[in-house]
Amino acid sequence: MIRDNILVALKGFGMGAANVIPGVSGGTVALLTGIYADIVDAINSLTRPQTWKALLHGQFRAFWQYIRGPFLTALAIGVLLSVFSLAKLMTWTLAHYPVPLWAFFFGLILASAAMMFRDIPAWNVSAVLFALAGLGLGVAVCTLSPHQTPDTMWFVFLCGAISICTMILPGVSGSFILLILCKYEYIMQAVSELNWPVLAVFAAGCAAGLLAFARLLHVLLAHWEKQTMLVLLGFVLGSLVRVWPWADMETVRAAQLLRTGEAESVALQIPWALLFCLLGMGFVFVLERLGKKMDKQSS
């Protein structure tokens, strides 16, 4: 049992790392490591009336069994350790080297979209239309949404509610949603600085989001999995405009000023961007190969 919980915690660490890095979905890592169905089942148990009846009647052992307490606890420990250990690194890199980092994210997202494209069976006219709908939605969200969003607690709560849902959707990462909502750097900084009021509100949003949307997402994947994945694929491709390494030249200029003290002629760092884009793509392909190897060993 202890060995199983340690293994789940390690897989949770991988999911947490994926959700810190835009482009690699925690749901994808869960799929590759064989715990995706367990996570969906555990989350769905939180929406069942008998789960909360057991808690209200003081049947704590039954409640703990319904929600698969040991599994969720080990998973949460792994995810939290990963998030808190990587947040400071992400914050520093975004401030000093945004172009290589955004290029790495761009490669991650592009390769993830390629994997999703390959896994869609039987392309036809309706499939293309669903993908185009997702593409249009992604472009619209990224181009029409403001480049600055409020730091108020209600919006932080909303960001938590929306981003947490992607943990049970393979293909889209929670941090990618935070990027679109212009709150990635803000939340990473809150994690690295242990800003507990912000983290508490964000965590409350995550809990509310899971309880509100877990059943809906389960129904979508159970009955319209292909259509859901097609819309997600288009959405991911359309949202690439937000992670283009030179989309925000003011940030690039500020980073150069921070590194060198000069910002008159901005260095585009194209060779570094190409290198890190390829590294990001390679990371996704290596992750997939490892997942296939683990599947063969377990079968």
pLDDT computed for residue 199 by the predictor: 92
- Which amino acid is residue 110, in one-letter code? L
- Which amino acid is residue 151, in one-letter code? D
Q: How many residues does the chain have?
A: 299
**Cα→Cα distances 64→39, 54, 72, 121, 148, Å:** 15, 9, 10, 39, 41
CA torsion, ordered 229, 231, 236, 237, to nearest 10 deg: 120
In tens, the pLDDT along 163-188 reads: 887 666 655 667 777 877 888 888 88
Count of beta carbons in the 10 Å neighbourhood of residue 181: 20
Lowest mean pLDDT of 58-67, 86-95, 118-127, 170-179, name the range. Answer: 170-179
Angstrom distance (rounded) from CA 83 to CA 78: 9
Structural domains of the chain, count: 1
Range of the structural domain that residue 154 is part of: 2-298
Would you say residue 274 has pLDDT above 90? Answer: yes
Report the percent of the chain where pLDDT is more than 70: 85
**pTM > 0.75: yes or no:** no
More confident residue, 28 or 240: 240
